[in-house]
């Protein structure tokens, strides 16, 4: 059994945390359309909270609270230097079942579902079902998982260390929210990749789809797909989550 699977099975989610409120957002309820523009007043308040926060990272605690129903992801934004996620604080959602949470963490740590199924003695379809059920319960189904949450899962499992990650609490219209900040990856540290592959790897790590990457790079979706394959072959990995783990191991977030 891998270190990630051991942690995922044994870890107790019961510990919570309560940072102090560091900023007030000036406008808009949380049920409005989530803004993605970092210049929006909501995001300015969130960034202010991050800047005022303590230097310690609490990514592991973020994942713990998410799995226990204390957080719900709301919106994301990217600046020149960082990737940000806002999550609403609440204590009304049920926890993810331990078995489903364990499978989800292992997948987000880059482990193939076939390997997980083999070690657990279950069918691959059952593993996939548990993974998808956990995502749905966390309101993360049918969407690309935000990079801060993937790093939070890997941090909770003891795999990722992101020294420049930050968390802070802010208030908007009487509701509390958590903002999570992680640095954008520096994929130039992946020296086995070509420059083009490094750029594509960064886009994939940050959560861009093939169509968006192709648009940014003024190329075809088929070319991007081939570059994905080249990146995975060069690094001997498979998939975005394994790529994020590889980026952590190569200090792309340091």
pLDDT for residue 120: 96
**Cα–Cα distance between 160 and 162 in angstroms, integer?**
6
Q: Is residue 11 part of a domain?
A: no
pLDDT for residue 32: 57
Q: Is residue 5 part of a domain?
A: no
Q: Does one domain contain both 170 and 48?
A: yes
pLDDT for residue 54: 57
Q: Which of 183, 214, 241 is the last residue of a domain?
A: 183
Strand partners of residue 166: 181
Q: Does one domain contain both 109 and 227?
A: no
Q: Distance from CA of residue 66 to its chain's centroid?
A: 11
Written as one string, the DSSP assignment of 92-125 is -SPPPPHHHHHHHHHHHTT--HHHHHHHHTS-HH
Counting the structural domains of the chain, the total is 3
pLDDT for residue 215: 93
Q: Does one domain contain both 120 and 168?
A: no
**Cα–Cα distance between 204 and 225 in angstroms, integer?**
11
Q: Is residue 13 part of a domain?
A: no
Residues 6+ apart with CB under 8 A from 195: none
In the numeric block, which tokens belong to residue 84? 């940000």
Query: Per-residue confidence of the chain (254 residues) as pLDDT tens digits?
Result: 443 333 332 233 233 444 444 444 433 444 556 677 777 778 888 888 888 765 556 799 999 999 999 888 888 888 888 999 999 887 677 899 999 999 999 999 999 999 999 999 999 999 999 999 999 999 898 889 999 999 999 999 999 989 889 888 887 777 788 899 999 999 999 999 999 999 999 999 999 999 999 999 999 999 999 999 999 999 999 999 999 999 999 999 98
Q: Is residue 153 part of a domain?
A: yes
> Where do the DSSP E strands lie in 194-253?
none
Q: Does one domain contain both 46 and 120?
A: no
Which residue has 């880059």 as its token pair?
A: 110
Domain extent at residue 233? 187-249
Q: Does one domain contain both 142 and 225?
A: no
Q: Does one domain contain both 68 and 168?
A: yes
How are strands ordered across the β-sheet holding 166-172? 21-25, 166-172, 175-183, 82-89, 71-78
Q: Does one domain contain both 213 and 119?
A: no
Q: Does one domain contain both 42 and 56?
A: yes
Give the 3-state secondary structure percentages of the chain, helix then strand then coil, rounded to 5. Answer: 45, 15, 40
pLDDT for residue 6: 34
Query: Quick count: other Cβ atoms within 10 Å of Cβ 218?
Result: 6
Strand partners of residue 71: 89
**Cα–Cα distance between 112 and 131 in angstroms, integer?**
12
Q: Distance from CA of residue 42 to its chain's centroid?
A: 21
Q: Is residue 12 part of a domain?
A: no
pLDDT for residue 12: 30
């Amino acid at each position: 059994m891998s270190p990630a699977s051991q942690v995922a099975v044994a870890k107790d989610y019961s510990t919570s945390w309560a940072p102090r409120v560091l900023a007030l957002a000036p406008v808009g309820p949380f049920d409005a359309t989530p803004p993605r523009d970092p210049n929006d007043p909501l995001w300015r308040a969130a960034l202010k909270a991050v800047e005022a926060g303590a230097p310690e990272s609490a990514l592991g605690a973020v994942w713990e609270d998410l799995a226990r129903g204390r957080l719900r992801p709301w919106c994301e934004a990217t600046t020149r230097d960082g990737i940000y996620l806002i999550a609403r604080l609440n204590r009304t959602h049920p926890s993810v079942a331990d078995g489903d949470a364990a499978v989800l963490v292992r997948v987000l740590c880059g482990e193939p579902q076939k390997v997980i199924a083999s070690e657990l003695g279950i069918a691959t379809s059952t593993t996939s079902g548990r993974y998808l059920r956990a995502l749905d319960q966390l309101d993360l189904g049918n969407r690309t998982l935000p990079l801060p949450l993937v790093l939070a899962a890997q941090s909770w499992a003891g795999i990722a260390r992101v020294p420049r990650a930050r968390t802070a609490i802010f208030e908007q219209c009487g509701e509390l929210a958590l903002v999570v900040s992680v640095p954008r990856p520096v994929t130039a540290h992946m020296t086995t990749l070509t420059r083009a592959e490094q750029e594509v790897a960064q886009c994939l790590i940050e959560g861009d789809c093939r169509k968006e990457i192709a648009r940014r790079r003024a190329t075809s979706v088929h070319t991007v797909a081939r570059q994905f394959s080249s990146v995975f072959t060069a690094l001997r990995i498979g998939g975005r989550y394994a790529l994020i783990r590889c980026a952590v191991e190569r200090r792309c977030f340091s």
